[in-house]
Amino acid sequence: MKWWGWGYEEAEFRAGNHPNFWPFAKSVLDIDGNDFTRREWNLDSIELPEPCADEPFLSKLRACLAPSKITSDPKERIIHAYGKGFRDLFRLRHGIASGAPDLIIYPESERDVCLILRAAAERDIVLIPFGGGSNIAGCLERMDARRMCVSLDMRRMRRVLAVDKRSFTAQIEAGVFGPDLEEQLRIHGTTLGHFPDSFLHSTLGGWIATRSAGMQSDKYGKIEDMVIAVRMVTPEGVLETRVVPKSSNGIDVNHLCIGSEGTLGVITEATMRVHAVPESREVRGYLFPEFDGGIEAMYECATQECTPTMVRLNDPDKTALSLAFRPPSSGFNKFVGNVFKKYLRAKGFTQPRTCLMLVAFEGSPNSVSRRLQQAETIYRKRGAVGLGAGAGKSFESTKYDFPHIRDFLLDRNVTADVSETATVWSNISTLYKDTIATLRDEIGKSKVRPWVGCHISHTYPTGASLYFTFGFSQQLGLEMEQYLQVKRAVQQSFIDHGATLSHHHAVGTEHLPWLTADISPVGVQAVSGIKQGLDPANIMNPGRLLPSKDPFEDWLAADSPLRASRG
């Protein structure tokens, strides 16, 4: 895993494979980009805080855990310092790793986790559960430099323990990564059906702790809809629930673990609902002459018994970005580039309003063809033109690559980030228009040209998720202030419009200032009660889910080392 960007060391966005992208970006951002020289990110330039070492704690660890499970290697400390948010990567690239833990432990069993928690509680050591480290909401950095801090990297707890094929449930250790999990489930002819954009780099435990959503949540639900039972080691002991489809046993304690963001304990395993691997899968692309018609088509599908497995509708700006991102060699792009453009123009499609929709249907061949046919009737009513399976294949081949763009842009002094939310159908248009306008205004205040796009995805009968992407060239020396101003405006727009602070990226530190508005002060008090009940000494991921009196102060303070370093 890279320490300075997204994904594997060897994976990156290569401009040569996407020759249209950088010219597109320079044009929409109004920059010439000639002053760029690729920096070599140097691990040695990072100032790592001197590790705190609590000797009684360390000697207890050494007594019960093999040395191979413990490390304080500087590179590991840096990798475990942050997630992959803009702030995280920007700080690391500027030599700041104040969020780094003092130690990393790789437990291999629930017993290991119990021993570590007991030892930590005795010595007031902070523990931060770590899955794939892919979150972009600031869920992982240490908030308190004074207490010793340990990152609990769960990757070695990666087994599918049992699959009950008759009941479509699987008992799974929490540290397993997406591809490994699917490979193990595939042996039993099953799939979890959870494919978030971070799929390659995130874990089951991380998905549960953050209330993640996969691309195919339209059919399979969000992760909270898939959890049948859970085991979570807390400072007060192991919380465990039963493998039953549904219950009326008072407050559903599964839902106390789901979304707990490491603040109550360490999720060690979960029994998840799984599905038979679908016999048939169709991925298709469509162009809509305008965004509103595309939204109407999504709405009708979501409310008329032909909900796709996945649907993603890009607004015109996001559509232009998607087209610029596609490799020129793809059959689809050639097709669009040559014959198709003329046809579209004749049909009344105009470049600045056209919207791309990607759709997948999964299930039995009968069910797929029935739903696809029904959906296509709805799409055509809104003037859509099918791009066939080629567009689908093109999407499938690059669907996990998008986050690499940010690193490429950061290298070129361009800030790029995302904010996403969810709202009910009746509110989607207003929220969309106002948030786009807010983003443009706010970015424009720095006298740079804004680029703002949005896609709508994750449909439900009652609403959908809106996912905003934005970019702008950096004011050198004020990059963080610029980012915070924009991020604050977009989050405030969500809350002002009755939407939620995040649909699937978690609260972390990035969204904590809006939590009280989202779940009400009494809701926060309830969460605080659970924390008191399970982690009275506050050793589990402190500073999260419980906003302080002035949460914006903390929000801004996260970057003070950066400002201090600049003098």
The answer to whether the beta carbons of residues 379 and 286 sit under 8 Å apart is yes
List phi, psi (to 5°) of 196.
-70, 165
Residue 424 binds to a copy of itself (criterion: CB under 8 A): yes
Query: What x/- string results for residues 149 through 168 when contact with a copy of itself is judged by CB under 8 A?
Result: ---------------x-xxx
In the list 319, 354, 465, 482, the residue contacting a copy of itself (rule: CB under 8 A) is: 465
Q: How far apart are CA 214 and CA 178, in angstroms?
A: 11
Burial class (CB in 10 A: 0-12, 13-18, 19+), 64: middle
Residue 190 binds to a copy of itself (criterion: CB under 8 A): no
Identify residues 213-232 at the interface with a copy of itself (CB under 8 A).
Answer: 213, 222, 224, 228
Residue 59: closest CA among 5, 125, 156? 125
Residue 84 binds to a copy of itself (criterion: CB under 8 A): no
In the list 36, 47, 523, 565, the residue contacting a copy of itself (rule: CB under 8 A) is: 523
In the list 134, 151, 169, 469, the residue contacting a copy of itself (rule: CB under 8 A) is: 169
Residue 376 binds to a copy of itself (criterion: CB under 8 A): no
Half-sphere exposure of 495 (CA within 13 A, CB side): 17
Least distance in angstroms from the C-beta of 160 to a copy of itself? 16
In the list 81, 499, 539, 540, the residue contacting a copy of itself (rule: CB under 8 A) is: 499
- Single-letter amino acid code for the residue at 441: D
Of the pair 351, 532, the CB lying nearest a copy of itself is at: 532
Least distance in angstroms from the C-beta of 445 to a copy of itself? 28
User: With CB under 8 A, what is the number of residues at the site for a copy of itself?
Assistant: 91
**CA dihedral over 388, 389, 392, 394, signed as positive or negative:** negative
Residue 533 binds to a copy of itself (criterion: CB under 8 A): yes
Query: Tokens in use for 292?
Result: 């509103």
Q: Is 467 a catalytic residue?
A: yes
Could you tell me the CA-to-CA distances from 542 to 129, 255, 532, 545, 546 in Å, in that order?
11, 20, 12, 9, 9
Query: What x/- string results for residues 88 through 127 when contact with a copy of itself is judged by CB under 8 A?
Result: ----------------------------------------
Q: Which of 82, 400, 467, 483 is catalytic?
A: 467
Q: How far apart are CA 372 and CA 374, in angstroms?
A: 5
Residues 6+ apart with CB under 8 A from 309: 216, 218, 219, 220, 281, 360, 361, 362, 363
Identify residues 7-36 at the interface with a copy of itself (CB under 8 A).
Answer: none
Residue 457 binds to a copy of itself (criterion: CB under 8 A): no
In the list 18, 93, 326, 504, the residue contacting a copy of itself (rule: CB under 8 A) is: 504
Give the relative orientation of helices 110-123 and 55-64 as an angle to the nearest 10 degrees. 160
Could you tell me the CA-to-CA distances from 142 to 5, 90, 126, 152, 540 in Å, in that order?
19, 17, 8, 12, 11
Query: What x/- string results for residues 237 through 256 when contact with a copy of itself is judged by CB under 8 A?
Result: xxxxxxxxxxxxxxxxx-xx
Identify residues 268-327 at the interface with a copy of itself (CB under 8 A).
Answer: 273, 275-276, 299, 303-305
Q: How far apart are CA 151 and CA 204, in angstroms?
A: 17
In the list 545, 555, 558, 559, the residue contacting a copy of itself (rule: CB under 8 A) is: 545
Residue 458 binds to a copy of itself (criterion: CB under 8 A): yes
Q: Which residues are catalytic?
A: 467
